[in-house]
Amino acid sequence: MKKTKIKIFSAFSGIAGFEKGIIDAIGKRAVFVGYSDIDRYANMVYKKHFPKHINYGDITKIDPKELPDFDLFCAGFSCQPYSIAGKRRGLDDLRGQVVYDIFRILREKKPAMFLLENVKGLLSHNKGETIELICEELCDSGYVLDLDVLNSKNFGIAQSRERVFIVGVRLDLLNESQIY
């Protein structure tokens, strides 16, 4: 049986954490069609490990029509606006507003799935209103969601680091018996 390739676009890619995890999970089935990151030093590390991957630069300036099609969209979007260690300005912080670029790309490209990651503080930000808005926008974009908090210490990492993961599957790809 031939295994299907999965085309992936990664945003806020940093030093390619999602890329490493995906390759570890599915190997050569992963085909990275591009990524987006603006940090100079992170890009140097990323390019060292994945020199052939194309950086589309600043997500706020990406025209989704110019991106290749992809099946999976990954984004560990800016956490500083939501972290309890920061000022918690959320969507009033320019870094927090990049979530709207995620919505914009999802609505235009309509990938089969997405995986978003952020700090646990996202759940309590603005008394839960921010995560509610994010989930509503993702659902309105045509996705069924699952959300969970995972701690890195439970996955062989030598630190306790809780993160929110939001997984979405395009609604039209599911049948009614799969939705619960």
Positions marked catalytic: 79
Q: What is d(CA 122, CA 143) in angstroms, rounded to the nearest whole number?
A: 20
Query: What per-residue string of b and e applies to 117-143 under the rule 16 or more CB within 10 Å gives b?
Result: bbbbbbbebbeeebbeebeebbeebeb
Query: What are the b/e assignments for 26-63, b being 16+ CB within 10 Å?
Result: eeeebebbbbbbeeeeebeebeeebeebeebeebeebe
In 3D space, the residue among 88, 141, 89, 93 whose CA is nearest the CA of residue 116 turns out to be 141
Q: Give the whole-angstrom CA distance, residue 106 versus residue 72.
A: 10
